[in-house]
Amino acid sequence: MEKLVSLCKRRGFMFQSSEIYGGINGFWDYGPLGVELKRNIKDAWWKDMVTGHDDIGQLPGAPSPYEMTGLDCTIIMHPQVWKCSGHYDLFHDYMVDCRESKKRYRHDQIQGRWVEAKGKKIFATAGSDSESPEADIERQALKFFGMRSKNADELKWDGALVSLTTVEDFDQVLGPDAKTLGTLTPPREFNLMFKTTIGALGGEADAAFLRPETAQGIFVNFKNVVDSSRVRVPFGIAQVGKSFRNEITPRNFTFRSREFEQMEIEFFCHPDSSPEWYKYWRDRRYQWYLEMGLDEKKLILREHHAEELAHYSTGTADIEYAFPFLPEGEYGELEGIAHRGDFDLRSHMEGKLDPATNPMTVELNEEGKPKHRGSGKDLSYRDDLSGERFIPHVIEPSAGADRATLAFLCEAYTEDEQPDDKGKMQTRVVMKLHPRIAPIKAAIFPLVKKDGMPEMAQDIYRTLKKSWNVFYDEKGAVGRRYRRQDEAGTPFCITVDGDSLKDQTVTIRHRDTLDQWRVKADDLTDELRKLIG
């Protein structure tokens, strides 16, 4: 993982935001190669899910034909949206602060064990960023008791590793970065939404939030889309856009960030067919990652257990990837596919629903009135063929563009042994990105900077540049130019040599196989289109 992070900075995939001022945790900038990679991933998703979708045919596995359309909603929305969606009340973590280290931790992510030595019993802990919590806890306990590693067997452990949430009295708790006991504060709520102000006055009535997800913009525009575009249920609305969450402990490169981009679909269907549509979207989204180059051995589709599901949902699944920063055998969420029933549309119609009720009813305040009032707008759907009126159920495939980018980078990073210009074997770093998402599709080289080769190579570059992002390079030995493009993930290199001027053919080199073959210069556009797919 350290090698990948180093490569990302060196080659211009990603930089830490505001790095010259020391950076800001949880925010990342995409460099010249990174912005192209992420844009290509979003474009591939949008084409495969929306613009390239066959609205009149029935796809394999789909219960029926369906339509797809898109939206681009604002980042700041009416504050009532977040009250009815549940984010205002529920979108928070319980946090504890350490008075000694001045650090903040999520209450449920601190782990620890009870341990006794020298007649004193304490609860030693490790933070969520610990890769070996039990080893860190042992070191912390030894340091607290003033003992050496060779005396570790004198520590008397009571019970296995447990969460801090199981501990009521913090007086005997040794914080993850503390030297004394009782430095952790009682847990308190911390809202994960970024607060902002609309207008010049800046009073509480002007408070708003940066959206923590893109989905709610789709729900509140459901009626607008139905009325304006004549789509019929079943249909999906897609959106790609920025979201913001005030993560307490952003970590693992871009995996958990405070500003990120989502690729979400809200698919509206009849309640009777919703279980079939859930299975369709779950399987289709899993297959998409395989088609884009992720290794099936590193990808799993994890169905949530029944006890994890809300009663209004018939299923939720996470597509998870074995990121290299995780312990072996563990996976991190890449995308979630959720059956959400009619919870969202009803909440924006009637008011915030209480998910604990069955059937669901509007949550009431102390006065017996709706705690958060809905819009009062009718968000039901009338089938113009059957005349039936119903509130559609929703299937939500929600993917992270940044996590997808990180997963494809992790998958692509490869080291192998290849001969250099003199035939000596050297380690080659190559980013084996799928040609569809590679930042640069092809690089064009003149073998030498003379004899008309640069002119021919530049003509080829200008022709291909009309269709793809391609790169021209005439600096250094060809072998070194190949290596630079291998690190950038460029799948094909095109070389103009002495024979090119005679027979108008060029050499294409494949990044992964190192195979080379000659093609007519006039046929390059068609050849690349076939290779890129």
Q: Is 511 annotated as a binding residue?
A: no
**Do you know the residue count of the chain?**
533
Q: Is residue 346 annotated as involved in ligand binding?
A: no
Q: Which residues contact 109 (CB under 8 A, 6 or more apart)?
A: 127, 128, 163, 249
- Residue 399 marked in a binding site: yes
Q: Is 500 annotated as a binding residue?
A: no
Burial of 482 (0-12, 13-18, 19+ CB in 10 A): buried
247 is known to lie in a ligand binding site = yes
**189 annotated to a ligand binding site:** no
In the DSSP assignment, the letter for residue 370 is B
10 annotated to a ligand binding site = no
Q: Is 68 part of any known ligand binding site?
A: no
**Are 372 and 83 in contact, with CB atoms under 8 Å apart?**
yes
Annotated binding residue at 335?
A: no
Determine the residue type at 392: P
> Is residue 334 helix, strand or coil?
strand
Cβ(494)–Cβ(525) below 8 Å:
no
18 is in an annotated binding site: no
- What is the DSSP track for 444-458? EEESSSSTTHHHHHH
Query: Is 259 a known ligand-binding residue?
Result: yes
Tokens of 190: 């911390």
Q: State the helix-helix crossing angle for 453-465 and 524-532, rounded to 10 degrees.
A: 50
Is 403 annotated as belonging to a binding site? yes
Residues in CB range of 52: below 8 A, 6 or more apart = none
Q: Is 128 annotated as a binding residue?
A: no
Q: Is 400 annotated as a binding residue?
A: yes
Torsions phi, psi of 199, nearest 5? Answer: 90, 180
Nearest one of 54, 9, 38 to 439, comparing CA atoms: 38
Residue type at 325 in one-letter notation: F
32-46 and 401-412 helices, crossing angle to 10°: 110
398 marked ligand binding residue: yes
Pairing of strands 470-472, 442-446: parallel
256 marked among binding-site residues: yes
Question: Coil, strand or helix: which one is 336?
Answer: strand
Residue where the block lists tokens 């030693």: 124
262 annotated as ligand-binding: yes
**Residues in binding site for ATP:** 245-247, 255-260, 333-334, 400-403
Residue list for the binding site: 106, 213, 245-247, 255-264, 333-334, 396-403
- List binding-site positions for substrate: 106, 213, 260-264, 396-400
